[in-house]
Amino acid sequence: MASSFEYFIQSQQFTFYIGREEKPIVVHAAVIAATSQQLNVLINGGMEESEKQSARFKDVRVDDFIRFCEYAYRGDYTVPPCEKIRQEQNSLDGKTQPPDEQPQQEPSSVAIQTQEAREEWPWTADPLASKKKPKGKNRKHANDWGQSIDFDYPSEIPKGEEPPVELPQHEVKPAPRTRLRTQFNSREFLTDNDPKALILKNFEPKSNKAAHENFTPVFLAHARLYWFAHLRLIEPLKALTLRKLHKTLLDFKLYDSRVGDIVELSRYIYSNQDLPGRSEDGTLDELRKLVVEYIVCEIDTIGKNDEFVKYIEEGGEFVGDFWRMTRDYIA
């Protein structure tokens, strides 16, 4: 069967020379050929590349091509890491300056529960303390031997009210097979340290946690892979890069110092002549649409940033696309 793993792994090897440095990357020919008709022709079409079993992609970065190969073999690609920027030091005292922005910390669940408890029992200093029992009258009563015994009688019950009667609590035990099914359904065999789990974990987009985390390399890696898939007519890979970039933007904490990451992403998309702009019917390309939508949604923060203002002043197609989308939401 042509699509079986056995066929892929036993296919002949093909060498790609990537980038200006022409770094050789050896792959299975059938694996790469299966990603698109264009690459299939390159590898098996009888041209010079297929005869020599090699091809050169000088305009592709090595790390981008490796991500493409990972997609060809695994159906997904590892998300690139962000870049950690060292915090600048004060030249006067040599001390590290604190971050200019701190995300707001939400109250913990314990604090919320304690606050709710205080609202429920406002008369106690400690919400977890037991309620004070109402004091009744202390009376003495003699037993059969004439000894005096103290009793604390409860307060008198108002007429017309009956004291609450506590009923015995009966535990409903599940049927044996129900308990067994619950146990069966809750079984886990893939631990967090399992190789498969680690691979799947690396596929998922990561979110930033501080202002010193530069996400420009992350954004551009997705955009460049979208560009590669567009040139090689690999529609599933285009859709995958859009999904990953969308998820990354959803979880991205937009610090003011990180607005430049978004600007660089947009600048790359609109400056790359090989990326599509609009279709014949005027529909904006999905990658451009995704980024412009994000900027319009976050314009309250992005619009105040000087880097974005300078980017607007550069002009170009972005300004037109940005205004067309923005005017629809102006009251």
Which pLDDT score, from 0 to 100, does residue 212 have? 93
Rounded to an integer, what distance in angstroms lies between the CA atom of residue 198 and that of residue 15?
Answer: 28
For the segment 144-153, what is each residue's pLDDT rounded down to a tens digit?
Answer: 545 555 555 5
Query: Residue 257: exposed, middle, or buried by beta-carbon count in 10 A (0-12, 13-18, 19+)?
Result: middle
**Residue 268, amino acid:** Y
Q: Are 129 and 117 in contact (CB under 8 A)?
A: no
pLDDT digits (tens, 9 = 90+) for 145-203: 455 555 555 555 555 556 666 666 666 665 667 877 787 778 777 676 777 777 777 78
**pLDDT computed for residue 51 by the predictor:** 92
- β pairing state of 138-142 and 83-84: unpaired
pTM above 0.95, yes or no: no
Q: What is the per-residue pLDDT for 147?
A: 54
Q: Give the integer Cα–Cα distance in Å for 39 and 210.
A: 41
**pLDDT for 42:** 95
Supply the pLDDT for residue 30.
95
AA letter at 54: S
Buried b (16+ CB within 10 A) or exposed e, 85-120: eeeeeeeeeeeeeeeeeeeeeeeeeeeeeeeeeeee
Q: How many CB atoms lie within 10 A of CB 9?
A: 11
Beta bridge partners of 284: 278
d(CA 216, CA 85): 12
**The predicted structure's pLDDT at residue 166:** 67
Cite the beta strand spans of 174-258 per DSSP E.
Answer: 213-214
Measured between alpha carbons, how far is 226 from 269 in angstroms, rounded to an integer?
10
Rounded to whole angstroms, how far apart are CA atoms 65 and 231? 13
Q: How many CA atoms lie within 13 A of 166 on its CB side?
A: 2
The DSSP line for 39-59 is HHHHHHSSSHHHHHTEEEETT
Q: Where are the beta strands (DSSP E) in the chain?
A: 13-18, 23-28, 54-57, 83-84, 138-142, 148-152, 213-214
Segments of the chain with pLDDT less than 50:
1, 89-99, 103-134, 136-137, 145
Give the pLDDT of residue 222: 97
- What does the pLDDT read at residue 115? 46
Q: What separation in angstroms does the CA of 186 have from each of 12, 157, 191?
A: 44, 51, 13
Tell me how far CA of residue 270 lies from CA of 10, 29, 281, 305, 318, in angstroms: 42, 33, 19, 20, 7
Q: What is the pLDDT of residue 131?
A: 47
**Angstrom distance (rounded) from CA 71 to CA 64:** 11
Strand partners, 140: 150
CB–CB of 27/72 below 8 Å? yes
